[in-house]
Amino acid sequence: MRSFAVFGAAILAFAVVPAAVSEPQQPRASDRRALLIPASQLEKAAPGAALTQLLADADRLLATTPASVMDKTIVPPSGDKHDYMSQAPYWWPDPQKPDGKPYIRRDGERNPEINRLPDHDNLGRLTSAVGTLGLAYRLQPRPEYARQAARLTRVWFLDAATRMNPHLKFGQGIPGINEGRGIGIIETRGLPELLDGIIAISGSPAWTAADEAGLQAWMRDYAAWLTTSTHGQEESRNGNNHETWYDVQVAALALYTGERDLARKTLEGSRARIDRHFQPDGRQPRELERTRSFDYSEFNLTAFFDLAVLGERVGVDLWHYRSADGRSLRGGLDFLVPYAAGEKKWDFDQITPFRGSTISNILRRGAVAWREPKYRALADRLGGASTRVLVLY
């Protein structure tokens, strides 16, 4: 049986100062805290079923073979397999056209053709794996957790033979229409979780100063592409959850690379996003127009909750922000609560089964942010929270 004596001082030491790198690239020491995990929640992590599951998940991940963008068999339009490439999930061949092109949109229905390009799924598994291994290492510092997190990260981002180029020019392309779209940027939304995993192992011999400098450089280049490219500019003005997840990435990468001014500017701009995304009664019109409206309402709120956590780092309080006419994050959660609780019937489009437990993660996070026990009680009743959230909340 593993010992859990590592809690306390080890957990409080989540802020790790990497080896020195020339300014201005090197973040200040205060910026080396976790991005999306409030320090107060790390302090409260304790042995229990959720932690046991987290460690079991980490143990299984030790057998994971590193993936890279070189795994795909289809070559991107650039001719360089180091470029990330994916296909739009909700676009299908037009049955009225001999070759099916240009494809047509069927919102919420995933075209299995997208599986021919593994970059999207591989990156999703990578970011989740490194996040899990890093959190497990912080709470139970087994060297093999850090070694595996470092190994997986090096192959995808750092090794010359396998590294991904820091852009998403060919994300979510549509056959017969385009080679890639700004919308594809949502596929890198897991990067902050990966970075939290790396921050967690930064004190381990498994993660070297050269590794840190290399990942800093990659994330700096990617953040520059996000904020200056046509695709990035389009995504920043998308109008729905895409622009919220764009902000999460920009703010998180800016904090990781020491660009606090960019992080603060992005997070201050999130107040205006709240004004546009929510109605005074808490509904999110752009998400309610989707064919999986409950799921997308939760999805957008999750991104805003991430922004609220990031805002704590630079003194921008999004948790308690409220527009003059009452638009707020809490209002957004309260709008969903009676439907999740079974008190009201969800009458908006939802082509997949309605599950109230979809909001369990944000209920637990909201219970802490607003010190509201009724959210925690509902989350306990609904079940369905992720292992990561159960460990931390």
Please enumerate in sequence order all residues whose Cβ is within 8 A of that of 95, keeping only pairs 6 or more positions apart, or say none: none
**Tens-digit pLDDT profile for residues 23-33:** 334 433 334 78
**Tens-digit pLDDT profile for residues 288-312:** 999 999 999 999 999 999 999 999 9
Q: d(Cα 134, Cα 124) in Å, to the nearest integer? A: 16
Look at residue 32 in the predicted model and tell me its pLDDT: 72
Model confidence at 19, pLDDT cuts 50, 70, 90, reads very low
pLDDT of 227 strictly over 50? yes
Indicate the average pLDDT of the chain: 92
Look at residue 14 in the predicted model and tell me its pLDDT: 41
Torsion of CA 308, 314, 316, 318, to 10 degrees: 0
**Tens-digit pLDDT profile for residues 245-271:** 999 999 999 999 999 999 999 999 999
Would you list the domain boundaries of the chain? 1-8+45-236
Asked whether the bond before 24 is cis by omega within 30 degrees of 0, the reply is: yes
Strands 85-87 and 170-173: parallel
pLDDT of 5 strictly over 60? no
Look at residue 58 in the predicted model and tell me its pLDDT: 98
Q: Which of 121, 115, 110 is nearest to 74 (CA)?
A: 115
Q: Does domain 1-8+45-236 have CATH number 3.40.50.300?
A: no
**Tens-digit pLDDT profile for residues 111-142:** 999 999 999 999 999 999 999 999 999 999 99
